[in-house]
Structure 1
Amino acid sequence: MKKLFLLFMLTPLLITSSCENDNDDQIVCTAEFVYGLNVIVLDATTGNPLVEGITVEAVDGTYHETLQLVPGLEYAFTGAGERAGTYTVTITKDGYQTYISSPIILTRNVCHVIPQSLTVNLQSN
């Protein structure tokens, strides 16, 4: 009888401790580093990717960054890692007309910046 009484008294405690917080609002973010800008530069005549001798710059107010080719992302210049903002992208290469983009708005969610892709066909001089 004592065991039954003890079990009866401890049941609410066992039930309470075994319940987990089933909060569906929990957000689990990944540890990956997300680049906000992904720029591919093509020759307007041939359609071939241009990667040598190119400068791809992104400016957001006083912030300035030269985008880099990232190993594994074939032909993509990336930058603005985990940085929301309004960017203007400028692309220069000898023998080609300079390209200046319209403003590109990068937003973010709770975890990461939302990437934007830009493909530019550079016109030769």
Structure 2
Amino acid sequence: MKKLFVILLTVAFFGCNDDDSTDDPIFCTEDLRPGLEVTVTDGINGDPITEGVNVVVVDGQYTETLIHIEGTGTFVGAYERVGTYIITATKEGYNDSTTAEPTIVEEDACHVITEKVSVVLQKK
């Protein structure tokens, strides 16, 4: 009986170590987050423009056309995708606009960190 007690005590002692570091657990959600939120504005009046606007992002060989969210002046994309993006906005009657510097999308423990970018289009 004493042997059984010693075995159980030993198992309990070693089973209760703190190598399971749950002091700061991370709880991630399953929602998708855009890596990029792009707002396109008119260079003269500063108003957001979306009608007929095309926003394309490129990261190396990867290319994506961003989606306009109805009711907003925002185009989103690069969902859960880290990268270094060049952003180009086009619209008929305006000069194309490409970002001068790449936009870097990084991630935290769960999701990408959304980068908000503004692009200005100038009328021809």
Q: For residues 115 and 92 of structure 1, what CA distance do their matches in structure 2 show?
A: 22
SS of the counterpart of 1:96? Answer: coil
Q: CA RMSD in A?
A: 2.5
Give the aligned length.
Answer: 112
Residue 71 of structure 1 and its aligned partner are, at CA, apart by 4.0
Residue 107 of structure 1 and its aligned partner are, at CA, apart by 0.5
Deviations 1:21-76 (A, max 9, x none): 7712421101221001000011111121110111100000110000011246x110
Runs of 4+ in 1 over 6 A off after TM superposition: none
- Map residues 19-38 of structure 1 onto 2, 5 A cutoff: 23-38=22-37
SS of the counterpart of 1:50? Answer: coil
Q: For residues 33 and 110 of structure 1, what CA distance do their matches in structure 2 show?
A: 14
Gaps of 5+ in 1: 1-12
Aligned-residue identity in percent:
42
Aligned to 2:93: 95
Q: For residues 69 and 51 of structure 2, what CA distance do their matches in structure 1 show?
A: 13
Residue 84 of structure 1 and its aligned partner are, at CA, apart by 0.1
Aligned to 1:77: 75
Q: What TM-score do you get using the length of structure 2 for normalisation?
A: 0.79
Residue 116 of structure 1 and its aligned partner are, at CA, apart by 0.5
- Map residues 99-114 of structure 1 onto 2, 5 A cutoff: 99-101=97-99, 102-114=101-113
Instruction: Give the greater-gyration-radius structure (CA).
Output: 1
Aligned to 1:40: 39
Gaps of 5+ in 2: 1-11
Deviations 1:90-125 (A, max 9, x none): 111111111111211111011000110111221111
